[in-house]
Chains A and B, each alone.
Chain A
């Protein structure tokens, strides 16, 4: 069996000012459509790029919680800002989403400050780029540390013996850093897929080390072939340098296409990039309420499948299994 590409769909739920955003029913219909097509995961972002005002009805993490109850297999990632949440609260929210979804949740964290966002969170001066980078790296370490605070077999539920969990299978984090101090542990049980999936987006070159060290998925903008290939190889090299299996980091390339693009052309372009190992897959950027997803599912996907480049359906039940990421006890 050949190497298969990983496919994410970013659903844009934000509408331009003056338009009503898509309803829950409309968004859920799109996500179920993507699930029927066997897409690895959808990524929900609730803000417009560049800090423009949107009229989305929903905040991303609450929407993902609701979507988890009306889907069964597809992975669900929410974008959530490190400026808007304290790390303990964010770690809890995603740990909880992962249990609600039976192991299909992930956090899309961005390495880029949203313009003006800090001004709504009592930080009118924002952060310098250097501070923001160090702060985000520390933040991610805390969140992943909290996700690992409970061993998989910590909960014993022994009614007769009076022991709910094994005390020694829960660990304090005791983090004291430059920006945060967090004692832990999390008060949410361990994830059914070990930890929620971490996707990083908005990277620039100085973020590559952080990404290679911590991310399960890296989302990168489309680039000319040579640049994309160099970037991909560099990230994999750095993953290996930090002691990880290079295949434990999936590099996905952001792509969007218009209704005018022929499915065969789109599929061909994706196949080229994938087969020459400039990426492990793609993140298709689509509006949540449109026929664009149908166009992709009915036009492009069959082409990719004919070429043996995308699997037919889901083989596992958790997101890590869709992504081919190792989990103790699963697989």
Chain B
């Protein structure tokens, strides 16, 4: 079986774990956000398991406006991801290093230069996950009086991506656009992998178009096979309009597995985490993703209220609402359900059950790989690496060793020959 028939895997590192109550778990490393050695160990674990990449989320601000709620989670503090990945770059040798950075609160010249430097430090293993930032908490740290409308953020992002890719390819001289002007080419040498890998996560209509045009890798959230398949087909279908082949983008939905030797153990492990979620924290997390501040006003055992159109994360909001209606969930149930995986796909079971589920989506044409979101660190990353990865390798679904040295090589991407489309 050739590399192109094997799935790609990302290790999505986030604070003490992806489960909102992860930090309270007895085996979670609670000081993760101030312990660089912990992250070096996680990176080496993922590299030993031959993961394509480490993936870091980011927000330039607190995650939660209510300080009482924020203080019951571990997400108010952590490493800034570009410095974190720069440190990891020289403590690893093969694994890709992808960080999120916002097009709303950076300038393209500085961002292009910083990621290119990470690319040089790592010998061609860097990637940039483009986000437009939907949070008003972040906006308040950058002099903004309010969140910019969704369409404006994406127009700025489109120009930003165009300038960054242009700079990575040696140009442009004299960009003078709607949002940005750049006079010089970059003063760093060209990337060891052609250009850092471009990653995107927005799933709205304009987000998909931007991805179809510029992304090498797309991170997405999909609960069911049908949702994943519909997104996959839609995005790959948009690429021809930009002169690109479907295989030029790898689509990697997030997956939040809870795995153990037996199904009963996995369920017990998951229940143990769910029990640690305080109601007010679960509801706050849900309301932040739905961009409605007053969800706590509604009866917690009642259904989700009708929601107004929001300037926040439109596609993810739709996903959450649809799930709640489909399953007839109360706010409490949805909050708990959502808190565990933040709207991503959760699988609880044995290695064989997790591998079955991943295989179905991979072979069914709904995913090129998966961004793995362990519930808590380091235990659940270790469990995935020791239980699930060998099972995937046994089935020929995942590599036993790296084929190349750069992130582009791991992902089976062409060295970029394309140039950014002109506005």
Contact = CB atoms under 8 A, between A and B. Distances in A.
Given A57-B189, A96-B80, A69 B90 contact: yes
B71 A166 contact: yes
A66 B76 contact: no
B34 A155 contact: yes
Interface stretch (A175-183, A215-223, A237-245, A307-315): A175-183
Contact of A92 (B60, B71, B137): B60
Nearest to B277: A162
Contacts of B183: 116, 119-120, 124
Given A162-B278, A182-B141, A63 B33 contact: no
A93 B40 CA distance: 18
Contact of B181 (A24, A86, A124, A164): A124
B179 interface: yes
A59 B188 contact: yes
Contact of A58 (B23, B24, B188): B188
A121 B109 contact: yes
Contact of A164 (B60, B71, B179): B71
B107 A84 contact: yes
Interface residues of A, number: 61
A68 B121 contact: no
Nearest to A78: B83
Interface in A39-74: 47, 53-59, 61-63, 65-66, 68-70
B303 interface: no
A99 B120 CA distance: 23
B23 A69 contact: no
Interface stretch (B111-119, B352-360, B383-391, B405-413): B111-119
Interface stretch (A185-193, A257-265, A268-276, A289-297): A185-193
A95 B84 CA distance: 11
B40 to A, nearest CB: 7
Interface stretch (B61-69, B217-225, B325-333): B61-69
A99 B79 contact: yes
Contacts of B278: 162
A187 B107 contact: no
A162 B114 CA distance: 37
Contacts of A62: 82-83, 86, 114, 117-118, 121
B147 interface: no
A59 B80 contact: no
A116 B183 CA distance: 8
A159 interface: yes
Contacts of B276: 162
A115 to B, nearest CB: 11
B184 A85 contact: no
Contact of A183 (B76, B117, B140): B140
A144 to B, nearest CB: 16
B189 A55 contact: yes
A61 B121 CA distance: 12
B89 A66 contact: yes
A256 interface: no
Most-contacted residue by chain B among A96, A102, A181, A185 (CB, 10 A): A96
A62 to B, nearest CB: 4
Contacts of A65: 82-84, 86-87
B74 A187 contact: no
A190 B189 CA distance: 35
Interface residues of B, number: 64
Contacts of B72: 162-164
B187 A69 contact: no
B59 A100 contact: no
B110 A84 contact: yes
A88 B60 contact: yes
Most-contacted residue by chain A among B24, B26, B86, B189 (CB, 10 A): B86
Contacts of B143: 180-182
Contacts of B179: 122
Given A99-B36, A122-B107, A185-B62, A63 B86 contact: yes
Contacts of B83: 61-62, 65, 93, 96-97, 100
A164 B182 contact: no
A62 B71 CA distance: 30
B121 A24 contact: yes
B86 A167 contact: no
A86 B105 contact: yes
A170 B66 CA distance: 12
Contacts of B61: 88, 183, 187
B78 A167 contact: no
A102 B36 CA distance: 9
B79 A56 contact: no
A89 B24 CA distance: 29
A54 B31 CA distance: 40
Nearest to B25: A159
Contact of B77 (A68, A166, A188): A188
B170 to A, nearest CB: 13
Given A100-B84, A119-B184, A121-B109, A165 B77 contact: yes
B73 interface: yes
A157 interface: yes
Given A62-B118, A166-B71, A121 B110 contact: yes
A107 interface: no
B300 interface: no
5 contacts: A57-B188, A96-B80, A97-B83, A124-B181, A187-B60
Given A65-B86, A65-B87, A66-B89, 7 more contacts: A62-B121, A63-B121, A65-B84, A88-B142, A119-B182, A167-B70, A181-B143
